[in-house]
Chain A
Amino acid sequence: MGFPVGPRLLVHTSGIYTLEMPVIEIKNLVKTYRVYQKNEGLAASITGLFKRDYRSVEAVKNIDLAVEEGEFVAFLGPNGAGKTTTLKLLSGVINPDSGTCNVMGFTPWERRNEYRRRFALVMGQKNQLWWDLPAAESFRLNQHIYCVPADRFNSTKDELCDLLDVTRLLNQPVRELSLGERMKMELIAALLHQPDVLFLDEPTIGLDVVAQHKIQEFLKYYQQQRKTTILLTSHYMKDIEALCKRVVVIAGGEIYHDGSLDGIVDQFSGDKIVTLHLSDSSSINDLRNLPNVIKVEEPKIKFRVSRDHVGEVLAEIFKAHSVDDIVVEDPPLEEVISNVFSAAERQNYSSQNHSSDGAARV
């Protein structure tokens, strides 16, 4: 699974075919963590002092991925699937066990300054700003860390603050900002050096709907303007729907699906949701007995039909009843994704039970 790796034909919006190297290229990446196992109780704690049991957890096993310049890719997957580990490998925080990775010609875990000046990592749960100082001071520090010329720094900063509407908060200590405001500052801090590649790890976690939406809008606009290559992980489907054309589903450390969001729905959801608005209330009683009725709310009825049979079922209904309005839609994305995750985890389990040398799971 996964996109072909290596130089490939790229279709630009203009329709011109060009030959390009991917910005990010991952091959056979493997990362195993060693986790200390301790049983409950004091006796086990004492034994643990002398003899420790370790279990290896394969956070990432054999990931292949290629991302082109200017792509906005979402990593989707259940907690502990290996999304964050992959981002950490890409940003050089950790070294892999095996495999190669090439980002703009650099190997991330060599941690070359030339590479570190060209990407940024924003983690929704970690902050990089100085807690007791105004964000403006953290920005100034980043300017020097990343060697940004003063004029470019000022114009970038003004533009970003303007877009995110935080100019008036620049001189307020970061600890006095709300979570949403702080996240906006974090984003600005990460973008001041105009990175070519941006890794976002759950940038909207814990934010209210308004702040989430604002950040989505901003990211969308920014990406369109600057054509930055962005990799994003998020558990909010809204983020992904709004931003990413390409979705990579990771589960159990492997890539399970790589393609468009619509593709996921087509592949993993066999059902459609049909809502009928009936003109005659007596019809409702007849239709109540349909299989898979979700909700009845006179004069409306909502039910689930397998995709292949939508036409058939509707034709039957039209014959017997008069219908005012009809809506046929895909199931909610959350539901589809949750199906994908369960399927992926099932597959993962069975493959692990087959291999005798697989890590023992508790």
Chain B
Amino acid sequence: MLPVFEKALTWWTFFKISINERLVYRGDFIIGTLMRFLPTLTQIFLWWAIYDAISTPGTADSATGPDQDIQGYRYGDMVAYYLMVTIARAFSSMPGLTSGIANQIRSGEIKKFLIQPVDMQACLLMQRIAHKLVYYLIAALPFALVFWLCGDFFIDGWPDGETLTVFFTSLILAFALGFYLECTIGLVGFWFLEVTSLTFIYMLMNFLLSGHMFPLELLPESPVNIRGIVEFLPFKYLAYFPAAVFLGKVQGAAMYWGLLTEAVWVLFFIVTSRVLWSRGVKRYSGFGG
């Protein structure tokens, strides 16, 4: 058989097995999905209080909500932003990937990827895609329910087809970026064995600089221009960028530039993780018996 075909068959089997493995935990999944929206709910209430405090008295109860805007975000935009960020993060977040790789290095389980004629990153990628697909399948219903209930917050309605295309592309790239970025951090485990602190720093940066916590427009520009710096970091593509595209905060050429930059970051982390892998394996001395 053709080697390429053989390889594809391996990935396909791996993919199917990962799906089966994932379905073992279906109960855990449904609860996890609903919990995902809880933090968003508290943020919606918090922003309600903020908008209410700065708005003209009395307008808060009107159909469109409070009449003030913050950095171009009306109250409805703010709620819609958080909902869209939840979507973006459903693609870009990779629970357990970094720690999983680091643990495998420390425990010596990584050996199987050295012994068997199979590529670790490809395996992990297949596994991740399978997990995500199962997740979307199960999460589709609760997601649809929440978005239907919150439909009114999308004040400007659905974006046009072009924006939607860019939006979906940015989601796919967000998945790839999240995957290779976390892979890279996990592979640092070849040098440090323990990457918990590194993971923690990454989580913190991700939380603040990806737009997960609040829209990046709210970041200060002085005395240090954090808003400007964030433009040069990969984090914003994990949450802010797809949401901003969907809500029309990024338009026209800027939209495509963003997409291109995102792709370059993906490429950067693919190459970095590859280099770390080949260097790390040489360094690896087979910890753990």
Contact = CB atoms under 8 A, between A and B. Distances in A.
Interface of A: 33, 84-85, 88, 91-95, 111, 113, 116-117, 120-121, 123, 125-126, 128, 130, 132-133, 137-138, 140-147, 173
A93 B111 CA distance: 6
Interface string B27-54: 0000000000000000000000000000
Interface string B139-154: 0000000000000000
A142 B21 CA distance: 16
Nearest to B8: A144
Given A121-B115, A147-B1, A141 B24 contact: no
Contacts of A130: 17, 21
Contact of A132 (B21, B116, B286, B289): B21
A133 B17 contact: yes
Given A93-B286, A126-B108, A145-B10, A137 B115 contact: no
26 contacts: A84-B289, A88-B111, A91-B114, A91-B115, A92-B115, A93-B111, A94-B284, A94-B285, A111-B114, A113-B117, A116-B115, A121-B111, A125-B289, A130-B17, A130-B21, A132-B24, A133-B17, A133-B24, A137-B20, A144-B6, A144-B9, A144-B12, A144-B13, A146-B117, A147-B1, A147-B6
A88 B286 contact: yes
Closest 5 CB pairs of A and B: A116-B117, A113-B117, A144-B10, A144-B13, A94-B286
A145 B285 CA distance: 25
What is the interface of chain B mostly: helix, strand, loop, or mixed? helix
B249 interface: no
Given A85-B286, A95-B282, A138-B17, 16 more contacts: A93-B286, A94-B284, A94-B286, A117-B117, A121-B115, A130-B21, A132-B24, A133-B21, A137-B17, A140-B13, A140-B17, A141-B17, A142-B116, A145-B10, A147-B1, A147-B6
Interface residues of B, number: 26
Nearest to A92: B114
Chain A facing B: main interface SS: mixed
B112 interface: yes
Interface string B105-135: 0001101101111100000000000000000
Given A133-B20, A137-B17, A145 B115 contact: no
A172 to B, nearest CB: 13
B73 interface: no
A318 to B, nearest CB: 54
B14 interface: yes
Nearest to A127: B109
Contacts of B21: 130, 132-133
Nearest to A34: B285
B111 A141 contact: no
Contacts of B112: 128
A356 B106 CA distance: 34
A142 to B, nearest CB: 8
Most B CB within 10 A of own CB, among A84, A117, A128 = A128
A84 B12 CA distance: 34
Contact of B116 (A33, A85, A145, A173): A145
B106 to A, nearest CB: 13
Given A126-B109, A146-B117, A141 B286 contact: no
A243 B57 CA distance: 89
Contacts of B284: 93-94
Nearest to A87: B286
Contacts of B13: 140-141, 143-144
Interface string B258-284: 000000000000000000000001101
A307 B9 CA distance: 64
Contacts of A133: 17, 20-21, 24
Contacts of B281: 111
Nearest to B112: A128
B126 to A, nearest CB: 11
Contacts of A84: 289
A286 B116 CA distance: 66
Given A133-B20, A141-B17, A93 B114 contact: yes
Nearest to A88: B286
Contacts of A144: 6, 9-10, 12-14
